[in-house]
Structure 1
């Protein structure tokens, strides 16, 4: 940490790593009740605000109702709903009880939801009418409709108790998929918020005067950490747009809301650039995360928007740790294709060719996957000194980091991290498929970063062709997730495997290249 950043980071650590840390108080109750916490934008561009005072009152009453369902400190509570005010009210109500929020992506189908709900050991899911049909088929799980809960809460006394879970207390649990096995649970402690605050302040440079819009989905880490948790912690209003991404809608929101500080994936910037619809957009800051940012997008933004898009890098297990900071106290010139430098409070390096973060970094918080010590050990060097990201890269003499490749097989498509195992697990259930492997390949259209490519071995009698391709794609969309279906499916006689039976994915990538 530099002398410019040390006092600020130490102050945040003192707040969020305290023994008596109370999440609802830190993220809601201590703020000006008249200040706007979020502005919600509907698909038809109508807007409505949620103040901290309204959030406090509604979440206290909802917490009373949730307590009747035996939610208590440590309970894992999956939440599946769109970006509506009830989402924020539900999260704060959960934290009032010392319970743990488990995010679920709204594009998930039942299969993906069930994997995470069962892995969390949850007994109920809070959802809404639009998403409930995905939850009802899961055996042993109670689906609670948020609108019914809020109607019941209207006549209840507000919850007045405080749960001081402390800096080491878990308040979020996300799931990240790797190359094999079930999703890995990442418990996030309250003290991680200090790192989230550091990122928003130094890297994103979100000020009180900004109109801020983090367009990432809160079903994933970047949207949850920096689109919900950090705006609440810092009392920085954020926009939440309850609609899917299109360049037309996005540019219209940017104009109408006079957004000055925007964060999105490279896919979004690329699509906006190709649309030619940026007249009237005036940004002060622009951030990118989720996949590598190519120099052509940076050049386009400089020439068209008169703003530099600053690339940032992180993981579910870390938050953001490397980036091109925008705050004047720590900003440095951009280098083409560089992710930037280690962020304040983080010590990063390249260890054995892989990007790594020192476990002694003041803002490092990951202690391991829940209940999986062996998979946790794989993430650390033998002496425990470094966390290994699983990405290969290099750092130059000026401290700029450059991403080169993934060290595992997670696919980065349109800013989402897709585990091949999850997609394979669905495809193999199709009656025509005998064996299957999934890899990521560069998007030939240059829009999504990577696309999901499936190699399928068919059972005897199954007929390959376009009809089966469409059927398999729909199989994944309906049973796993709309964002993870294979854009390309190839039928092969056999999969390349090692003598022990492991799929040699690198050979499939070579086959695709040929």
Structure 2
């Protein structure tokens, strides 16, 4: 272990000890201990006007908001879904809830009522916080009180500051997220206060967010990566985070990157692919670029070097874990990139391969905070080996002799063809190099001849100017057959306008497998 890695492991232990204390409180760790004059968030509107939001303003507004929430029946331990865009009142409402000791249940603004109901009912929530733009989605839900955040904020102006901040301790629940549900009904993931140590470790060592960085994590805080690392990580670490109150488009992303001189950017592979597809990035000059959510194909690394000012580094995690493996940026733990690899374990974690799955060594991963799903013991048991020694990710992968991990597939995405186990990511990484392709997803579907078990099929989104044809299909098949493996080439190539995705941008391969796309 290098001196830098040893120093990182010591720092991790210090953060963990502090945030695990039985007297620890969320509002203190996330807001009150910071210099009140420092900027917590740069709030950016769709027209690119911006407002600095200081820790002192956040402390004052959240204390008054907490008083109003208590008056509306919110109490310590209550699970409170919040359906708001990336606006000032979102941050105020969250810190107010945490002052009370209530539990935040994130809701994504692109959800329809059905997805919201699953989470509201799963959390047994009686109160939902939203605004006028989202209220129509919540009003049909029976037996919940809907609180309008703008009405709460207006009442908070004259309210007395809340002074009885809850000390929930390191094991107290801060957030309850729900998994994206790509393979089943969403499961509740309680996030304890001590998880802040893991979030700060990622922010510091993997993303390398420095004091003078202009940092923007473009992920939506309705999902884990955005909540953990656009809000919680920056707050606990005292780093300024840019919050853009609009959805993703390549054009608006470039506009924000250039207008605010962003130097440290994090986002999903989908975002980088969209930028690569034709956005003018000539004014972008990043110091750090990081990707999470799905495996990063090598062409995006090359795109970053050519058009963003830096390579894009792939990092790996889950809702249940936060980020745990990565191509880290900080000098103490940074290593050279290896094509197709997602890197090495983050300080505070030890990982291996168990039964083909990427797994975490529980005893030697002090930052591991997941202990189980809410009210789902059978699902929880699936995440651990019988002896409890390893957390199982359900993602298949491999590790080389130097400790670099690589992803092959979610366990249920592995293709079994003629006795071969084929990881879709490996095939996608070859196909996406073709100049006609923006995106590609590879799945296994039943062999119509009944010989191979499954056959590889590819779903391809083409760039403007290219048209799907038998000739292009043959060219793509040959690219895989000759450049990767004869047994892994796609027997059929489907040319589609878009790929089915979760609201967080993950490809829903199960939809492609069953032929609904």
Q: Give your verdict on TM over 0.5.
A: yes
**Which string of whole-angstrom CA distances, capped at 9 and with x for unpartnered residues, describes residues 281-324 of structure 1?**
11000000011100011011112233011100000000100000
Matched residue, 2:408: 404
Partner SS state of residue 444, structure 1 = strand
In structure 2, distance between residues paired with 1:122 and 1:242: 26
| Compared CA separation, residues 286 and 66, structure 1 to 2 (3 A) | same
Q: Which of 82, 95, 99 is the matching residue for 2:98?
A: 95
Matched residue, 2:221: 218
Cα pair 1:178 1:409 within 8 Å, conserved: no
Q: Work out whether 1:444 is the aligned partner of 2:464.
A: no
Cα pair 1:215 1:262 within 8 Å, conserved: yes
**Which string of whole-angstrom CA distances, capped at 9 and with x for unpartnered residues, describes residues 151-196 of structure 1?**
1111111101121100000000000144665321000001111011
Q: Work out whether 1:196 is the aligned partner of 2:199.
A: yes
Shift of 1:510: 8.8
In structure 2, distance between residues paired with 1:28 and 1:74: 20
Cα pair 1:179 1:409 within 8 Å, conserved: no
Shift of 1:235: 0.9
Cα pair 1:186 1:370 within 8 Å, conserved: yes
Cα pair 2:361 2:391 within 8 Å, conserved: yes
| Compared CA separation, residues 345 and 483, structure 1 to 2 (3 A) | closer
Matched residue, 2:375: 371
In structure 2, distance between residues paired with 1:260 and 1:485: 25
Cα pair 2:250 2:279 within 8 Å, conserved: no
Alignment of 1:2-401 (within 5 A): 2-178=5-181, 182-360=185-363, 361-401=365-405
In structure 2, distance between residues paired with 1:486 and 1:29: 39
**Which string of whole-angstrom CA distances, capped at 9 and with x for unpartnered residues, describes residues 117-151 of structure 1?**
00000001000111111000001111100000111
Partner SS state of residue 5, structure 1 = helix
| Compared CA separation, residues 161 and 175, structure 1 to 2 (3 A) | same
Partner SS state of residue 314, structure 2 = strand
Shift of 1:274: 2.0
Cα pair 2:177 2:190 within 8 Å, conserved: yes
Cα pair 1:349 1:395 within 8 Å, conserved: yes
Q: How many residues align?
A: 442
Alignment of 1:410-449 (within 5 A): 443-445=459-461
Shift of 1:485: 12
Cα pair 2:25 2:166 within 8 Å, conserved: yes
Cα pair 2:327 2:344 within 8 Å, conserved: yes
**Which string of whole-angstrom CA distances, capped at 9 and with x for unpartnered residues, describes residues 384-434 of structure 1?**
01111010010000101110011136999xxxxxxxxxxxxxxxxxxxxxx
| Compared CA separation, residues 486 and 10, structure 1 to 2 (3 A) | closer
In structure 1, distance between residues paired with 2:213 and 2:403: 30
Partner SS state of residue 445, structure 1 = strand
| Compared CA separation, residues 443 and 47, structure 1 to 2 (3 A) | farther
Cα pair 1:107 1:483 within 8 Å, conserved: no
In structure 1, distance between residues paired with 2:342 and 2:282: 28
| Compared CA separation, residues 442 and 220, structure 1 to 2 (3 A) | farther
**Which string of whole-angstrom CA distances, capped at 9 and with x for unpartnered residues, describes residues 50-70 of structure 1?**
111110111000100111122
Q: Is there any run of 5+ residues in structure 1 with no aligned partner, and where?
A: 413-439, 448-469, 489-504
- TM-score normalized by structure 2? 0.81
Shift of 1:247: 1.1
In structure 2, distance between residues paired with 1:487 and 1:76: 29
In structure 2, distance between residues paired with 1:487 and 1:374: 24
In structure 2, distance between residues paired with 1:387 and 1:323: 17
Q: Is there any run of 5+ residues in structure 2 with no aligned partner, and where?
A: 415-423, 426-455, 464-496
**Which string of whole-angstrom CA distances, capped at 9 and with x for unpartnered residues, describes residues 170-229 of structure 1?**
000000144665321000001111011111111000010100000000000000000000
In structure 2, distance between residues paired with 1:123 and 1:17: 29
